[in-house]
Amino acid sequence: MTTPDVVVVGGGPVGLATAIAARQRGLDVLVADRARPPIDKPCGEGLMPEGVAALRALGVELDDHDAMPFYGIRFTEGGAAAEGRFPEAAGSGLGIRRTVLHQRLVDRAAAVGVVTRWGEPVTGVTRAGVRIAGRNVPCRWTVGADGRVSRVRRWAGFKSSPPRTPRRIGLRRHFRARPWTDLVEVHWHDVGQAVVTPVTANEICISLFTSAPAASMGKLMGFFPELGRRLNGAAATSAVMGAMSGTNDLRAVVRDRFALIGDAAGSLDALTGEGLSLGFRQARALAEAFARENLALYQTVHRRIRRMPKLMASLMLYVGARAALRRRTLHALIAQSQIFGLMLGVHTGALSPRAIGPRAVAGFIRHFVWATHSQS
Half-sphere exposure of 315 (CA within 13 A, CB side): 10
The lowest-confidence range among 141-150, 157-166, 194-203, 281-290 is: 157-166
The residue count of the chain comes to 376
Angle between helices 358-375 and 337-348 (to 10 degrees): 120
H/E element holding 341? Answer: helix 337-348
Same fold: 6-45+97-163+247-315 with 168-245:
no
In words, the CATH class of domain 168-245 is alpha beta
Say if strands 241-245 and 168-176 run parallel, antiparallel, or are unpaired.
antiparallel
3-class secondary-structure state, position 29: strand
The mean pLDDT value for 57-73 works out to: 91
pLDDT tens digits along 102-127: 999 999 999 999 999 999 999 999 99
Domain ranges in the chain are 6-45+97-163+247-315, 168-245, 323-375
Whether the per-residue pLDDT at 182 is higher than 90: the answer is yes
Average pLDDT, the chain: 92
All residues at 6 or more sequence positions from 309 whose CB lies less than 8 Å from its CB, including other chains:
268, 272, 274, 278, 347
Q: Is cis: bond before 138, omega within 30 of 0?
A: no
pLDDT exceeds 60 at position 241: yes
| Residue 270 CA to its chain's centroid (Å) | 6
pTM here is 0.93
Q: What is the pLDDT of residues 136-145, one digit of tens each?
A: 999 999 999 9
DSSP-assigned letter for residue 180: S
CA 313/CA 128 separation, integer angstroms: 38
Angstrom distance (rounded) from CA 97 to CA 45:
6
CATH node for 6-45+97-163+247-315? 3.50.50.60
Please state, in angstroms and rounded to a whole number, the distance separating the CA atoms of residues 184 and 90.
16
Q: What region does 168 belong to: left with phi over 0, alpha with psi -120 to 50, or beta?
A: beta
- H or E element that contains 278: helix 275-291
